[in-house]
Each structure stands twice: as structure tokens, then as C-alpha cells.
Structure 1
Amino acid sequence: MRPLFILPAIDPCFQKGDDFLTQINLNKLTKTVAGEPLFTIDQLTAHTGERIGIIGANGTGKTTLAHIIAGTDTDFTGQRTVTAPVTLVPQIAPTNGRSGGQSMLDRVRRALAQRPEILILDEPSANLDDDHQQWLIGQLQHFKGLLIMISHDRELLTAVATQIWSLADHTYTQYNGNFEDFVTLRDQQRQNDRDRYQNEQRERRTLKQAIQARHEKADRIRKGSRSMSEAERANSKSTREQNAAKMERGARALKDRMNRQTVAVKPHETSALKLVATDLPRVTGKYLITITDLHLQRGKHDLLDHVQLRVKPGERVALAGPNGSGKSTLIEAILSHQDGTRLAPSARVGYFHQDMTELPHDQTVWQVISRASALDDNRTRQIMGAFGLKAIFYDRLIGELSGGEQVKVQLLTILVSASNLLILDEPTNYLDLPALQALEDFLVGYPGTVLFVAHDQTFRQKVATRVLELTDQRLIDPDKTAKSTPATDLPRLQFEYDQLMMAPDLDTKRLQEIRKQIAALKK
């Protein structure tokens, strides 16, 4: 069956003058790859002024849908109606020597300058620093046309999207609201599914117990009471058999009722990703990373000066700062043992930076990950599954994977390795939302030490125990800066405490607060 394209002129709802035009209508659409359905769409619609976020696991067809909407992929069945020209900004494009973030910004700026009626952005916030992410959010919030974003950036989706198209189990579903609204609804649906499953299981157990009880009672009736004489047993045999048969019929009726029940599918529960200290090489010494008065340059350009840094075992330290401020260069200086940097002798480093060319494309996923893993096969598979690489991926060649799936493989080879210090440079780029959650859970429970760069602010907030900012050629610890207390605070608090003690109405709650503050300052 050939794809059906409907011209806008035949549908009156597309006439000019309407304030709310239907610009995209996808109906009964199926995309097939290698004879297998990649995804199906019952119906998706989009209107002028809407901002749609497309979410789903890596490799499931989000970018393919973008190309179908843009008209560059016509190999599908079903109906596609698009009423205006589409501008598509792809996820990956030539960078011409510029960083990935700079290249994406240039392409987004050029696209916005064209004032397109329909704009599709594929991972527009990847590699952008905090300031440029905020710039992007502001620009997209004020975009007047129809906007479609393929993204795993939770902050972007929450701030910009007015609708979510979620791809799960090969099917697209449309949700109104932003990403937070989607998560709330999804979590409620999952809880409802769990409740329904648990209620059905309780009812089935009750029915099984009732069925068993009737069978046992039927057996007792047939046998008769031990106190019966042989004559009584013979005379009551017919009656006892009738009563036992009645019990058996009751048991069969209950069993039929149980079999007629619609059995809810058990909701999938992801196992906790938990390593213990004994899984990792032993750490000795007070600090794993020590940097003293380090000066960093890129070519003739000064990046950082007088860098001082010490990272204790068990810390999860994030490096934040604008693009080009020196985050990756600082990591490279640590790894190359540049003068002024020191790694503890017991440090065993697992280093992640996105370079899929390092992966052997002619080997399978399981060959690559199992060879790198220091864990047993079952735990390795458990962690792979949490990141979305389930059993169907084990025998797939690396070269057959999508870019996001290759990122997962490369990241997993580091996470499951025999390392006690993970250095991760932008591990969140191009990971889907389930994998992002899995990575958060893994790192929060990781018993080793982590130094990482991530522009995903939500990820940083959830994972980091300390965030260091690179700004104005300095490495700053905002927590330490913020905790410094002016010398005048202690006398002021003591004076306020004395005044409250002499007041006619005693404010005990405020007194307790001040006493705690005074005690903290005297430490």
C-alpha cells in the first residue's frame, strides 16, 4: 500500500483566517523496517502555535517520524496530511570545526530567522551550556508557528512543550500538557496498573482458596464422619455423594468465574541498580584527585588559572560552565597527569567521552559489554536492561545500532568496568529518558567517586554532591562561597536573641531558630 498524501485544499478546516489551523494529521500510519513494524500511529494531530515534544527510547523511530512529517521519508503506509512547508534541523550535521553546541546553535538561529510555519528540531539542546539552554527555551517559547521537538531534555520539555507525543511499545500516544504533566499522568497510570494487577491477584488467590476449600469439603463429605457405623455409612452414601457433587459444582463455578476474569499484565518494575564497595577496587588515601595551582591553556588562549581542587572518595562532583570554559580540557589535564594534577595511586579510572568510532562495529553488544564488565553476567544483564539494552540487543552488531544506542553501549562499558573513579564527559547527551533515569539511579547509588560534566541541569541536581563552576578563568565552589558568614552576623543574632527574651510575648519558635544559628556560627 502506497502512502496517502492529502492536499490541504480539499479540507475546509485549513482555510486561511482560522486562528487554530490543523497543520499536521497522521492517521492509521505504520512505518515498517526490514519487514517488522517500527511504529504505528492511530492518529496524531498538531495545530498552529502548538509546541510538541516527541519522546521515546533510542532507536524506536522518533527521527524517522520527523522525516515522514518533513516529506523526506515516503516509505510508509497510511495517511499523512501536512499543510505547510517544514523546516527540519537535524540532530547531527557537519560542524565545520566548531563544537557540537555551537553548530546546533547556528542551525537553530538560521531556522528561526526563516520564520517557518512548521519547525522540527532534533535534540536541539544537546551540548548547550546553561546560558544557551535558557536562550533556546526563550526563543522557542515565543515561536509563533507549529514547533516539534525531539528531545530528552526534561527542562526544555517542561518549559516549552504544550503537548507530548510519546513512543512506547512501537506505538505513538498523544498527551496534552508539558513534560511534567505527562510524567504525572504516566506515573498515575502505572500506579493504577499496579493497583489493578494487585487487586486481581488478591481476588484470584481468594478464589483459588475457595475452590480448594470446596474440593477438600467434598472429599470429607464423601468419606463421611469417622464416628459413623458401617450401616450409617452405607445408608448415607447417596446423600453424601449428592452433597459432595454440589460442592464440586460450586468449585467448578468459581473456577469458571476465575478463568473468565480479564487478567491484567504484571507491570514491569525496573530492578534497583546497586553496586557495593566490594565490587570496586579498594581506595586508599584521603583524596582521589588533587589539583594545585594549575594553569590551563588551549593553544594560546587562557582557559583557567590558579585551579585548586581536591576530590574525596565517594564524592560526585559536577563541572559546570559555559561552552569553551575549559571543562573537558580540565578533565584531559587530569587524565594526562599534567603538572599540578595528581591522581591517587589507588585510583582506577573509567573515562567516558562520546566517541562511537572507538566501538568495534563488527562485534555484538554482548561481546563488547561482557568483555569490559567486572561484574557477573546476571548483574551485567540487569544493568543493561535498565538502560534499555534487553536480550534482543545481545546478538546485534554495534554497527547496526542507532547513535543513541551506541552511546549506551559505550557508557555501559565504563559503568560496569573495574573502576573506582568515573570521569564522565557529557554522558547524558542523546540518552533517552529511561536511560537518563537509570544513569541517575546508578550514579546516586555508586559507591565509588564520580567527576562529571553534564549540561542537563535536572541530572546535575539529582546526582551531584558538589557542583563546581568554571567562570572568568576561575574554578569556583559556590557552596563554599555561599557558606561564608559575615562577621557581623553573630553579634546581630545575639542582640536579637536578647531582645526576644525580654519581650512580653515569648516567640519560642524564633528563639529556637536563632539559637541554632548562633550554635552553628560558634562551631
Structure 2
Amino acid sequence: MSNQRFLRFFKGDVTLTQILIEHLHKTIAGQPLFTTDRLTAQTGDRVGIVGANGAGKTTLARIIAHQEPDFTGTCRVDGTVIRVPQIAPTADKSGGQSMLARVRTALAQRPAVLILDEPSANLDDRHQRWLTQTLQHFSGLLLLISHDRALLNAVATKLWVVADQHYTQYNGTFAAYELATQRQEANQLAAYQREHREQHALEIAAQHRREKANRVRKGGRNLTAAERGNSRSLREATAGKIDRSARAMVERANRQTTTVKPHQAASVKLVATDLPPVQGKYLVSATNLVLDRGGKRLLQRATFRIRPGERVALDGDNGSGKSTLLTAILTRHPQTHLAPSARVGYFHQDMTELATDQTVWQAMAAATTLDPDRTRQIMGAFGLTARFYDRLVGDLSGGEQVKLQLLTILVSASNLLILDEPTNYLDLPALKALAAYLVAYPGTVLFVAHDQTFRQQVATRTLEIRQQQLRDPAQTAQGVPATDLPRLRFEYDQLMQAPELDQEKLRQLRAKIAAAQRENG
């Protein structure tokens, strides 16, 4: 059969297995998306489906939910299936509120198989705890597509991992999988480095033999013309043997080099001179700010200030007003203030801003203020490698479009990043790349993120919205502390590039930089 498609339902079957997937192949537009050997799951399993954006996790879920019939291979499903897709914010509900409503409705139907696609995206801490506890007690078969490390660690009992266009089953927890993966990568890197050291040693030895062969061919300096002529054939034969042994060494070195170097995306750091200069002590502030939405009071007399170089996390329950506060800042609400020198890069998850008929590289080239090489390095760190450059934006998966939208903001001419849920739907390598990028970012960041691990890595300070009050807790997230150093160093760099040096100002700035360095250890 040219198109072997099997989708079978078993009722009253004696086996506990509810899902059996064998030799499944899925293509899109004639290009392979993924393959499987054998994936199994049964009642009581909580399967985490993990992999990079665009690798086919949602597509596999659609196949299991009988919503995608175009594949080859076997997919046998026993029992009723309910799939809850990724939920975007709507006019009257946040993304978190919409997801909670859909999850509760699905649970009430008591399906044999429940598929959740990024269910923790947009959920506040309280509802993340509710979701975790609820899924831990789900009695059926759960398939969980997620990049949420905390949720996967707490819930998943086995994993289906897609990498290099192939699904593999891992019977263990997500934490055990990550540890095994890290050990495998470390062993692979060690083997690669050992092989290349040995290869280099053999290549040096081979080079020494080639040099010896050349000396033999030339003969010693003390040889007479007659002796040189009479020994030519012997010298050539001896040199030939040495050359052959050198070639054998090189061939042996090449045969021994079999380990592929693990992929390690190069981190790219911006410096202060990459960003528009900042002037003033505070970049963002608000005084006695009152915010309402839909007749509901969200904030009552909120006052705060954000200094240049800070990375401030905005925390609060779903519907507490975090996005509304960001909007107030962006629209220059009368009770807020943005410094005149602020150049804002704003990320939100309305992907309609991306032109779907342009290529990925065209979108990045139009946004970036960096040179092409550094732009490519940043894209590579987030997983948008060269194979994506010529793809149309409209052909990207939802997660890939989120990633591209975020990257166009990160490389723009901004010194203030306002990021509303930038971690939603990003794969794990991109999450790590984003955290590293923001920690090293020389500008200012104000962000909302419900990923607790990410917040703790990035934030130097946290503002909380609780019961209409904006609070600045004494105990904040443990990020790299923000200081005046980026601004002071930028001013120093600018003075050094001025046509005429102002020695007195330079002296004052050097003193301020030294004081800031002492203050921050």
C-alpha cells in the first residue's frame, strides 16, 4: 500500500496499552518531519512530550487525537481522547484563564486519554500549583506537551523525546533524562577532544616524518657530487618508505576520529555601545498610579522607579493587571514616566505583526542593528540556524514564530526591553539562551514570566501585584545585581570617542566607576 494508515480503536481489549505507535512517518510539503520506531503508553502513565519548537510535538498529538490522518505507519489508540491545544489570550480572558477553563472542562469529561499542549503557559504560581496537583492525580493516560521544567519534573513518569527528526521513548523522569543527557554530552565532548588530541599528535608525527623524508632525499651537506649521484636511488627509496609511513599515520588519525562534536551554541553578549545611550537616574517610574479595567480596580496608588541596568520581574495572579501595567507604561499613562532617552523594545505574543510572506532572514535583517555575523550568532543560540533563513515566516510553527518575534526585539535599537511572557512556548535550549542573553544584557529589562526558574535566573528585583497594591518585597530573586556600571561605562566610552577629551569629566567618571565596583564587590 502506498499510504499505510492505521487508526484503530479497541474497546474492552484485555491489554492495558492504550497507545501503540510503530514505524510512524510524517512528512510536510514532501519534507520529513519526524519518524518513530515504537512508542507505548498505558493507563496511569503521564508522558511528557519534549523537543525543539517545530519538531512535530503538536502534530503527533493531533495524530493521536484523530485530527491528523495524513501519515504512514501504525497509531493504535484505545479509548476516548480529548486534546486541549495551546491557548492564546482573548478579548475577555487572559491566556491563563482560558487554559484553566479548557482544562477543567476536559477533566470533567473523564477521558481515557488527555492531551494538554503547553497547559502551564500564562498561569500564575497559584494556578501552576493547582495544575501540577491535578495532573498528578489524573487516573487516565496523560500526554503533556511542555517546556515547563518544573511541571515536567513534578508530573511526567516517562518521556517521548523528539530530536533530529526522530522520536525516542525514555522510561524515567524528566530530571533523570536531563542528567543522562548532560552526562552523554559530557562524555561525547570528552571523546571528541581526546580523539582530536590524538589526531593532532599523529599529524605532528607525520609532519616530522615528511620533513625527515625531504632531508633524506636531499642528502647530507658533506656528500660529494659523486656520492650524491650514486646514493640517489637508495635515498629516494628510503624517503619513500618514510613518506608512506607518514601517510599511514594520517590515515590512522582520520579513521580514529569518529565522534561528532556536540553542538554548543556560541553565546553572544552586547556591550553598552551597542545600545542607544541612557540619560537620567530612572528609566521608568510611576507615581500614585491608579489602573482600572472593565470597571474593576487593578492598581491603587502604585509608585515605583526602575533604574538603568535593572532587570525587574513583574509578578502577580492571573488577571491582577500585569499586562495592563505594561500597557500603561507603553502608552505613557499620565501617572507614569518614561525617560526621553528610553528606546523601548516590546515583546508580546500577537504574532500578526510578523509578515508571513517574508523569509526569516528578511524579518531579522529588517529589525537588527547588529552586523550580519553577530545576528546569525544570536539566531543560532536560539535554535534558528542557517536552515531557517530562507523559510517563510508563515511556514514556521507557532513556537518558532514566537521565537522569531522575540529575536527581532532583542536585536533592535532598544535600551529598554519590556517583555510580556517571553518564555511561553520556547523550547528548553531557547529558554536557556534567553536567560543567558538577558543576564548579560547591558540595558534595562521589565518582564512578566510565569516560569519560576527563569525568573530566579534573570531578575535582580521583583515587583508584585497583590490585592490592588504594587509591592517591592525585600527578598527578591537572586539574579546578577544591577548597578550604575553599564550607564557609567557607556558615558566613559562616549567621552573617550569625543573629538576633544575632557580630562576632568573622565577623572570624575573613573572615580564613580571605581566606587560602583567597590559597592558591588
Q: If the TM-score is normalised by the length of the shorter chain, which range does it land in? A: 0.7 to 0.9
Distance in 2 of aligned mates of 1:238 and 1:391? 54
Q: Which amino acid aligns with 1:442?
A: Y
Partner residue in 1 for 2:160: 165
What's the secondary structure of 2:414's corresponding residue? Answer: coil
Distance in 2 of aligned mates of 1:95 and 1:340? 27
Deviations 1:129-182 (A, max 9, x none): 110011000011111221111111111111111122221221112223222222
Q: Which amino acid aligns with 1:274?
A: K
- Paired residues of 1:3 and 1:80 also in contact (CA < 8 A): no
Distance in 1 of aligned mates of 2:58 and 2:299? 39
Distance in 1 of aligned mates of 2:365 and 2:340? 26
Partner residue in 2 for 1:2: 3
Deviation at 1:236, TM superposition (A): 4.8
- Paired residues of 1:353 and 1:424 also in contact (CA < 8 A): yes
Distance in 1 of aligned mates of 2:250 and 2:380? 37
Distance in 2 of aligned mates of 1:381 and 1:267? 19
List aligned pairs for 1:59-70, cutoff 5 A.
59-70=54-65
Distance in 2 of aligned mates of 1:257 and 1:164? 40
More deviation in 229-238 or 159-168?
229-238
Deviation at 1:232, TM superposition (A): 4.8
Distance in 2 of aligned mates of 1:254 and 1:451? 58
Residues 455 and 94 (structure 1), Cα distance of their counterparts in 2 relative to 1, 3 Å cut: closer
Deviation at 1:230, TM superposition (A): 4.7
Deviations 1:471-513 (A, max 9, x none): 111111122699xxxxxxxxxxxxxxxxxxxxxxxxxxxxxxx
- Paired residues of 2:199 and 2:254 also in contact (CA < 8 A): no
List aligned pairs for 1:72-87, cutoff 5 A.
72-87=67-82
Rg (Cα) greater in structure: 1
Aligned mate of 2:86, from 86, 91, 94: 91
Residues 128 and 218 (structure 1), Cα distance of their counterparts in 2 relative to 1, 3 Å cut: same
Distance in 1 of aligned mates of 2:160 and 2:308? 42
- Paired residues of 2:419 and 2:447 also in contact (CA < 8 A): yes
Aligned mate of 1:311, from 306, 311, 325: 306
- Paired residues of 2:46 and 2:143 also in contact (CA < 8 A): yes
Q: Which amino acid aligns with 2:263?
A: H
Deviation at 1:307, TM superposition (A): 0.7
Partner residue in 2 for 1:407: 402
Distance in 2 of aligned mates of 1:261 and 1:420? 50
Distance in 2 of aligned mates of 1:470 and 1:383? 33
Residues 246 and 361 (structure 1), Cα distance of their counterparts in 2 relative to 1, 3 Å cut: closer
1:113 aligns with 2:108: yes
Q: Which amino acid aligns with 2:79?
A: A
Partner residue in 2 for 1:177: 172
- Paired residues of 1:89 and 1:121 also in contact (CA < 8 A): yes
Deviation at 1:420, TM superposition (A): 0.7
Unmatched runs of 5 consecutive residues or more in structure 1: 483-523
Partner residue in 2 for 1:428: 423
Distance in 2 of aligned mates of 1:73 and 1:255? 52
Partner residue in 2 for 1:446: 441
Partner residue in 1 for 2:450: 455
Residues 161 and 352 (structure 1), Cα distance of their counterparts in 2 relative to 1, 3 Å cut: same
Residues 141 and 63 (structure 1), Cα distance of their counterparts in 2 relative to 1, 3 Å cut: same
Partner residue in 2 for 1:297: 292
Distance in 2 of aligned mates of 1:450 and 1:95? 26
- Paired residues of 1:363 and 1:398 also in contact (CA < 8 A): yes
1:325 aligns with 2:323: no
What's the secondary structure of 2:244's corresponding residue? Answer: helix
1:57 aligns with 2:52: yes
Deviation at 1:234, TM superposition (A): 5.3
Residues 400 and 8 (structure 1), Cα distance of their counterparts in 2 relative to 1, 3 Å cut: closer
Partner residue in 2 for 1:146: 141
Aligned mate of 1:200, from 186, 191, 195: 195
Aligned mate of 2:329, from 307, 330, 334: 334
Partner residue in 2 for 1:15: 14
TM-score (norm: length of structure 2)? 0.86
Deviations 1:84-125 (A, max 9, x none): 222211114795832221111111112222222221111111
Deviations 1:246-285 (A, max 9, x none): 3233223323323433532232221112100001111111
Distance in 1 of aligned mates of 2:316 and 2:89? 24
Q: Which amino acid aligns with 2:3?
A: R
TM-score (norm: length of structure 1)? 0.86
Deviation at 1:224, TM superposition (A): 2.8
- Paired residues of 1:51 and 1:148 also in contact (CA < 8 A): yes
List aligned pairs for 1:6-45, cutoff 5 A.
15=14, 21-45=16-40
What's the secondary structure of 1:478's corresponding residue? Answer: coil
Partner residue in 2 for 1:490: none
Deviation at 1:187, TM superposition (A): 1.6
- Paired residues of 2:189 and 2:262 also in contact (CA < 8 A): yes
Q: Which amino acid aligns with 1:433?
A: L
Distance in 2 of aligned mates of 1:204 and 1:129? 53
Deviation at 1:82, TM superposition (A): 2.1
Aligned mate of 1:288, from 280, 283, 286: 283
Q: Which amino acid aligns with 2:472?
A: D
Deviations 1:401-437 (A, max 9, x none): 2222221222122111111111111111122222211
- Paired residues, what number? 476
Deviations 1:27-68 (A, max 9, x none): 111101111111111222223212111112222211100011
Distance in 1 of aligned mates of 2:174 and 2:70? 30
Deviation at 1:459, TM superposition (A): 1.0
Residues 293 and 6 (structure 1), Cα distance of their counterparts in 2 relative to 1, 3 Å cut: closer
1:278 aligns with 2:279: no
Aligned mate of 1:220, from 185, 197, 215: 215
Deviation at 1:352, TM superposition (A): 1.3
Residues 453 and 287 (structure 1), Cα distance of their counterparts in 2 relative to 1, 3 Å cut: same
Partner residue in 2 for 1:501: none
Distance in 1 of aligned mates of 2:91 and 2:288? 35
Distance in 1 of aligned mates of 2:7 and 2:370? 55
